[in-house]
C-alpha cells in the first residue's frame, strides 16, 4: 500500500472513531447520553426546567457529582442553560453545537428528521463547492494522489458492497479536498466539519452500496476537473454531488432554498 493510500485510510479511520464510542461510558457519560436523547426526542422540551440535582440523582440512582458533570457537559454543547442556584433549562435547538461529534451522534441515534437533513445539505452547499474550486486552483501532485486513493477506497467499497469502506473513502475524499484548498482557515475547520460530513454520508448513502455507481462516477468527474484545474467545473460538479445526495434522502423533493445557493 503506498503512503498516500495509507494516509487516506488512517485519516478516515480516525474520523470514524470520532463518531463511535470504543470504551465503556462512565456513569456521568451514560447520564449525559440519556438526558441528551430525551431532549432530542422532546421528552424534555425547549425552555423546560430539569429537575434539581438531588432529584436527578435519586431518579437515576447516581451521585450528585455525576449529575453535575452530565449537566455541565450538556451545557458546554449548548443544549442546557446553566446558572448558579437555578435549575438547568433546555435551550432552543438553534443554540446547540451541531459541529460537536457527540451531538451529531446523538442526533443520528434519536432519528434525524428531513428538515435537519435539509439544513445539513444547505450548509454543505454553501461550503463545499467553493472548497472544490479552491482545490482546482491549489491542488498539488500529493493532493491529487490523496484524492485518487480516497476514490479507490470508494470504488473498492462499491464493488464489494462494503458500506463502511465506501463511507471511509467518501470522507477521506472530502477531507482531502479541504487539504487541497491550502487555506489555513478552512483547514482549521476540517476536524469540526468532518463529523458533520460523516453524518451526512450516513443519511444519504444507499443501503446497498452497489447502487452507488452514479455517485462514484460523479466523484471521478470532480477529481478530473480538479486535476485539469477547471475551477468552475469543479464547483459545479460538487454542487451536483450534493444535490444528488439530497434527492436520495428527501425522496426527490428539492427544497426551494437549494435554488438560492450558488
- Write out pLDDT tens, residues 110-152: 877 888 888 888 988 999 999 999 999 999 999 999 999 999 9
pLDDT of residue 1: 45
Q: What is the DSSP letter of 209?
A: G
Gap between the Cα atoms of 153 and 175, Å rounded: 14
| pTM metric for this prediction | 0.78
**pLDDT score recorded for residue 21:** 52
Q: Which residue is associated with the grid cell 482531502?
A: 176
Q: What parts of the chain have a pLDDT lower than 70? A: 1-23, 203-207, 252-253
- Rounded Cα distance between 143 and 149, Å, is 10
DSSP 8-class letter at 117: H
pLDDT of residue 43: 95
The pLDDT of residue 6 is 53
Q: Which set of grid coordinates corresponds to residue 10? A: 488512517
Candidates 228, 199, 201, 224; CA nearest to 212 is: 201
Q: pLDDT at position 235, please?
A: 97
Question: What gap in Å lies between CA 102 and CA 195, rounded to an integer?
Answer: 9
Q: Which of 74, 88, 92 lies closest to 34 in space, CA to CA?
A: 74
**Rounded to whole angstroms, how far apart are CA atoms 70 and 29?**
7
For CA atoms 165, 166, 167, 169, the dihedral sign is positive
d(CA 205, CA 212): 8
Grid cell, residue 228, equals 485539469
C-alpha cell at 137: 486552483
Amino acid at each position: 500500500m503506498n503512503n498516500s493510500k495509507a494516509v487516506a485510510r488512517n485519516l478516515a479511520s480516525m474520523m470514524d472513531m470520532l463518531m463511535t464510542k470504543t470504551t465503556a461510558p462512565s456513569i456521568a457519560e451514560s447520564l449525559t447520553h440519556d438526558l441528551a436523547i430525551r431532549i432530542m426526542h422532546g421528552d424534555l422540551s425547549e425552555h423546560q426546567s430539569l429537575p434539581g440535582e438531588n432529584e436527578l440523582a435519586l431518579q437515576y440512582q447516581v451521585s450528585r457529582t455525576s449529575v453535575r458533570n452530565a449537566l455541565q457537559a450538556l451545557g458546554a454543547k449548548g443544549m442546557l442553560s446553566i446558572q448558579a442556584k437555578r435549575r438547568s433549562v433546555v435551550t432552543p435547538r438553534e443554540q446547540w453545537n451541531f459541529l460537536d461529534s457527540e451531538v451529531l451522534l446523538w442526533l443520528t441515534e434519536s432519528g434525524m428528521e428531513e428538515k435537519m437533513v435539509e439544513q445539513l445539505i444547505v450548509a454543505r452547499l454553501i461550503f463545499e463547492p467553493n472548497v472544490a474550486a479552491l482545490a482546482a486552483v491549489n491542488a498539488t501532485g500529493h493532493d491529487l494522489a490523496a484524492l485518487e486513493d480516497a476514490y479507490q477506497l470508494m470504488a473498492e467499497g462499491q464493488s464489494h458492497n462494503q458500506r463502511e469502506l465506501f463511507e471511509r473513502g467518501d470522507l477521506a475524499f472530502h477531507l482531502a479536498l479541504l487539504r487541497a484548498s491550502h487555506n489555513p482557515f478552512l483547514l482549521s475547520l476540517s476536524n469540526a466539519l468532518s463529523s458533520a460530513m460523516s453524518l451526512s454520508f450516513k443519511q444519504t448513502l444507499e443501503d446497498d452500496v452497489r447502487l452507488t455507481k452514479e455517485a462514484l462516477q460523479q466523484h471521478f468527474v470532480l477529481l478530473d476537473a480538479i486535476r485539469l484545474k477547471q475551477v468552475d467545473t469543479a464547483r459545479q460538479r460538487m454542487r451536483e454531488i450534493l444535490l444528488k445526495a439530497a434527492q436520495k434522502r428527501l425522496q426527490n423533493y428539492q427544497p426551494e432554498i437549494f435554488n438560492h445557493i450558488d
